[in-house]
Each structure stands twice: as structure tokens, then as C-alpha cells.
């Protein structure tokens, strides 16, 4: 009997260039394919590393990339310019701006510089029409304020990557028409409050991701995460929204196509 093909799904955020995966990219991507992961977006967090992230996307069908300066790195990296980011967006496999955002948990001392960098990335998202990819930790009030101020100054699209903030930031993002991305954190046993926030959101505003090599969902928690494990988080999401796995995978993939329009339906 021929085994049925796995349900197609997308990992909307991973970090294939991190040292955790050195020398394993072919096997890693093959395992993801076997799990049904047809596309993934690998994220560059320091612009000086963009060439190696781009090379990974160019070398593998179904792998796309985004680039920006991570908020935890802004104190150590040159400030990105709008022109820097818009030039990168000319590449056919470059599909998003970021990740950028605010992180006051470990790097509150650079809050002003983080905010400046965030606004630069937002302007690049406006000009390119590519989605902004946001990292937010312990900065809910400033994040909601800046995203709203900037949206009123000119519309842009956005995903709150690896969303694990509070309900007020979730509402602010959804009110702006943005997306919330569900990572392995949503599958952790003690993440009931976070699951409640996701369950209150419209399913047509939900993405799913691994953020690998971090945040592996059960039963892999505490181990290295990888794109194929997005199916574990998606299974939790399906239960949360009261749909079967195939429908959840289909709906979140359609959401991905709507937001990450340069990667829509393609394996280029």
C-alpha cells in the first residue's frame, strides 16, 4: 500500500545558519520534507551575515530568507539603513524585513537604539511591501505604542514572531491587521495563558513556526529544535482552534501565503 503524502505545512521562522546546524542542512531539510514542511523562512539576525543566509536559501528549494538587526544585537552592530534593507529585498528569495523589535529582558540598556532600529525596519517594510518580522520581549507597552504610531503614519504588514507577550499587545497587533505566530512555547504544559491568547485570535491571523534551533515543542523540549518539529506545535494549534491537523496546516499555510507573498505557493 502506498503511504499517503504528509500534509503540507510551512515553518515561517527558523535559523538555519546557526552553528547548531553546521554540516547538516541537507539532512535537516530532508527530514522537514518527510514531515510535510514544504517551505521555510530562515532569518538573518545580523546584516553582516546576510550573504551566508542568502546562500542557504539559494541552495535549497522551498527555503526563503529574511534579514534585519535583532534588537539584542543593535548595540554591537552598525545601525541598518532603509536603503540597506530595500536593496536586500531585490533578491527573489528575500521575503521579509527582520527580525527586528524590542527586547528589554536582557538588553534594556539599549532601548533607545532598539527603538530607532525598529522604526528604520518599519520604513523598509513600507517601501518594499514585505512583512515586518517582530521580536518582542518585556517591552509590550513600547511595542504597542510604536507599532500603532508607525501604522498611522503609513500602513505596513507585520507578524509578531514567536508570540509570547501579553493579551494587550496581542489585541493591539490584531487590531492593526497583523499576525501572531505560534512557536513551541505554545505547546509547553505551563503555557495555558498563552494558549488562551491564541484561542481568542482569528484563525486567519495565525502562523506557525519553530524558531529553531530554539524552543523545541514536546516531546523534544530541552533538545535542539528543527523545522520538521513545526508539526508538533501545529498539532497543539489544531486542538486549540477545534479543527483537524490538515485544516490547521492548510489555514496557516494560506495565512503565510497572504503575508509572505513573495514565497506564496512557490519552491523557487
What's the CATH code, domain 9-263?
Answer: 3.20.20.140
Cα separations (Å) of 241 from 147, 160, 245?
27, 19, 10
More confident residue, 267 or 252: 252
Give 3's pLDDT tier (boundaries 50, 70, 90). low
Kindly give the residue spans of alpha helices, DSSP state H, lying in 154-191: 167-175
Cell triple for residue 93?
528569495
What is the SS3 assignment for 12? strand
Phi, psi dihedral angles at 92 (to 5 degrees): -65, -20
Q: Specify the length of the chain in residues.
A: 268
For residue range 59-83, what is the model confidence (pLDDT) as tens digits?
A: 999 999 999 999 999 999 999 999 9
Percentage of the residues of the chain whose pLDDT score is greater than 70: 97
pLDDT for position 2: 52
Q: Is the pLDDT of residue 130 over 50?
A: yes
pLDDT, one tens digit per residue, over 165-207 is 999 999 999 999 999 999 999 999 999 999 999 999 999 999 9
User: Residue range 253-258: average pLDDT?
Assistant: 97
> DSSP secondary structure string, 109-142?
GGHHHHHHHHHHHHHHHHHH-PPEEEEEES-HHH
Is the pLDDT score of 40 beyond 90? yes
Distance between CA atoms of 108 and 176, rounded to whole angstroms? 26
- Is the pLDDT assigned to residue 142 strictly greater than 60? yes
pLDDT score of 217 more than 50: yes
Which set of grid coordinates corresponds to residue 64? 526563503
Does the pLDDT at position 47 exceed 90? yes
Is residue 5 very low, low, confident or very high in pLDDT (cuts 50, 70, 90)? confident
pLDDT at 257 over 50: yes
The predicted pLDDT at position 268 comes to: 43
Amino acid at each position: 500500500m502506498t503511504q499517503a503524502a504528509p500534509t503540507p505545512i510551512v515553518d515561517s521562522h527558523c535559523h538555519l545558519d546557526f552553528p547548531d546546524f553546521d554540516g547538516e542542512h541537507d539532512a535537516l531539510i530532508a527530514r522537514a520534507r518527510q514531515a510535510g514542511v514544504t517551505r521555510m523562512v530562515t532569518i538573518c539576525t545580523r546584516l553582516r551575515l546576510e550573504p551566508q543566509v542568502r546562500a542557504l536559501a539559494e541552495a535549497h528549494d522551498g527555503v526563503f530568507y529574511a534579514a534585519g538587526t535583532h534588537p539584542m544585537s543593535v548595540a554591537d552592530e552598525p545601525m541598518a539603513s532603509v536603503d540597506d534593507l530595500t536593496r536586500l529585498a531585490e533578491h527573489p528569495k528575500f521575503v521579509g524585513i527582520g527580525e527586528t523589535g524590542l527586547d528589554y529582558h536582557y538588553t534594556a540598556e539599549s532601548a533607545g537604539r532598539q527603538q530607532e532600529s525598529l522604526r528604520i525596519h518599519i520604513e523598509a517594510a513600507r517601501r518594499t511591501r514585505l512583512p515586518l518580522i517582530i521580536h518582542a520581549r518585556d517591552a509590550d507597552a513600547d511595542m504597542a505604542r510604536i507599532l500603532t504610531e508607525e501604522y498611522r503614519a503609513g500602513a505596513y504588514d507585520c507578524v509578531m514572531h514567536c508570540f509570547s507577550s501579553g493579551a494587550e499587545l496581542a489585541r493591539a497587533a490584531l487590531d492593526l491587521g497583523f499576525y501572531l505566530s505560534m512557536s513551541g512555547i505554545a505547546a509547553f504544559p505551563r503555557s495555558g495563558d498563552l494558549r488562551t491568547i491564541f484561542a481568542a485570535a482569528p484563525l486567519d491571523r495565525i502562523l506557525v513556526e519553530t524558531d529553531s534551533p530554539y524552543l523545541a515543542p514536546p516531546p523534544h523540549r530541552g533538545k535542539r529544535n528543527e523545522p520538521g518539529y513545526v508539526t508538533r506545535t501545529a498539532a497543539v494549534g489544531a486542538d486549540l482552534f477545534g479543527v483537524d491537523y490538515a485544516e490547521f496546516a492548510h489555514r496557516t499555510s494560506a495565512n503565510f501565503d497572504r503575508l509572505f507573498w513573495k514565497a506564496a505557493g512557490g519552491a523557487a
